[in-house]
Amino acid sequence: MGAPTISYSPYADAHKNTTGAGDGRPTAMKIIEDEGLINKWTDKVVLVTGANVGLGTETARALHATGARVFVTARTKEKVQPAIKDIMSTSPSKTPIEVVEMDLADLSSVRAGAASFLSRSSQLNVLITNAGIMGVAYGKTADGFERQIGTNHFGHFLLFQLLKETLLKSATPELPSRVVTVSSAGHSIAPPDLDNLNFEKPDTYQPFGAYGASKTANIWMANAIDRRYGSKGLHAFAIHPGVIFDTTLFRDVVPGSLQVDVEGWKKIAKSVAQGAATSIWAATAKGLEGKGGMYLADCQVGAPMTEGEEMGGPNYAPHAYNEEGEEGLWKASCKAVGVPED
């Protein structure tokens, strides 16, 4: 099964002949400016997970410029304060940024964080599940999940479930609600094994195999959300931000576990602000209204990977669209996080 597609690629030319981070490709703020949204979303509410560093900070910065009420998550309020101070110092909006304390590796913390958000807002127009970890040594979350599938997928899946009704209620014919899951070209490494989601079978854990599975799970979650709720005004996209070296994501990578052509990647690498552009495009682009279930990269709809194509580019692997797998993961995820199937 292939992805839905559209002939809408306003930034295609900007992604040709790239020269590396900081070149002519759009930044997140450029997307907001091009959409004409500076201080135009003053009646909207958005939530971004993992906004204390990197992509999350730049995503929150661009959304804050719209004038929207912006909620950001971090494990502690203290961790995100430097990012908030930086955003407020540059933003055209003076609306306070609100913090939701949440550890995505602990479902009780996710529940508490969702309750905190809902106690403060009865509206949510955009949810961006940005937080994540990559290529870490084997370990378990507070709930016994393998760390990468637990943090990158199960934590966000529960958060979506707890905020789903608010997203649905906030949708209007003029502006359907959107969920943006931050996946990665790394999804091409492997799909989730539904019989071994937590790598409990002996000798099956590989740091980047687990990462790839969790990033495919992000795509499958977005596809399933759109299939279930698109007709009700709630759409979802999965995105690949691009290759970004200036990020804390590499901080805990197991040495020697990532075998890539770093030199070859330098020409396609993006700055953090450029990396956040596709998330912002997915969240705000008028040309995407009423659409979803698409894998986006380089501010355009991805295409199937060609045979022999190396990881890192804007295209998606064959297993990215697999309705049977998506439904199996949805069912397993509902059971894992303790919510009814829908």
Could you report the per-residue pLDDT of 165-181, keeping only the tens digit for each? 999 999 999 999 999 99
Q: Please report whether residue 317 resides in a domain.
A: yes
Residue 307: its pLDDT value, please? 82
Position with higher pLDDT, 250 vs 274: 274
Position with higher pLDDT, 50 vs 267: 50
* pLDDT value at 306 more than 90: no
* pLDDT value at 119 more than 70: yes
Query: Is-contact 208 189, C-beta < 8 A?
Result: yes
* pLDDT value at 286 more than 90: yes
Q: Where are the alpha helices (DSSP H) in 125-206?
A: 147-149, 155-170
Position with higher pLDDT, 268 vs 158: 158
The domain spanning residue 83 has which CATH number? Answer: 3.40.50.720
Arithmetic mean of pLDDT, 12-24: 94
Q: How far is CA 319 from CA 95, 185, 197, 212, in A?
A: 42, 12, 16, 11
Arithmetic mean of pLDDT, 266-285: 96
For residue 91, count CB atoms less than 10 angstroms from its CB and return exposed for 0-12, middle for 13-18, buried for 19 or more.
buried
Q: Please report whether residue 29 resides in a domain.
A: yes
How long is the chain? 342
Where in the sequence is the domain holding 330, given as residue range(s)?
Answer: 13-337
Q: What global pTM score does this model have?
A: 0.95
Q: Please report whether residue 42 resides in a domain.
A: yes
Residue 33: its pLDDT value, please? 99
Query: Is-contact 49 130, C-beta < 8 A?
Result: yes
* pLDDT value at 36 more than 90: yes
Number of independent structural domains in the chain: 1
Query: Is-contact 5 295, C-beta < 8 A?
Result: no
Q: Please report whether residue 322 resides in a domain.
A: yes
Tell me the C-alpha distance between 172 and 154, whole Å: 28
Residue 5: its pLDDT value, please? 74
Helix (H, G, I), strand (E, B) or coil at 336: helix
For residue 234, count CB atoms less than 10 angstroms from its CB and return exposed for 0-12, middle for 13-18, buried for 19 or more.
buried
How sure is the predictor about 7, in pLDDT bands with cuts at 50, 70 and 90? confident
For residue 264, count CB atoms less than 10 angstroms from its CB and return exposed for 0-12, middle for 13-18, buried for 19 or more.
exposed
What pairs with residue 127 in β-bridges? 47, 179
Q: Please report whether residue 1 resides in a domain.
A: no
Arithmetic mean of pLDDT, 317-326: 97
Q: Please report whether residue 7 resides in a domain.
A: no
Tell me the C-alpha distance between 63 and 57, whole Å: 10
Residue 201: its pLDDT value, please? 96
- Residues recognised as catalytic: 183, 211, 215
pLDDT-above-70 percentage for the chain:
94
* pLDDT value at 342 more than 90: no
Q: What is the mean pLDDT of the chain?
A: 94
Q: Please report whether residue 232 resides in a domain.
A: yes
Give tens-digit pLDDT for 212-271.
999 999 999 999 999 999 999 999 999 999 988 866 655 556 565 565 666 677 888 999
pLDDT-above-90 percentage for the chain:
87
Give tens-digit pLDDT for 53-83.
999 999 999 999 999 999 999 999 999 999 9
Residue 259: its pLDDT value, please? 58
Query: How many other β-carbons are positioned within 10 Å of the β-carbon of residue 7?
Result: 5
Q: What is the per-residue burial (b if ≥16 Cβ within 10 Å, else e) of 58-75?
A: bbbbbbbbbbbbbbbbbb
Q: Please report whether residue 342 resides in a domain.
A: no
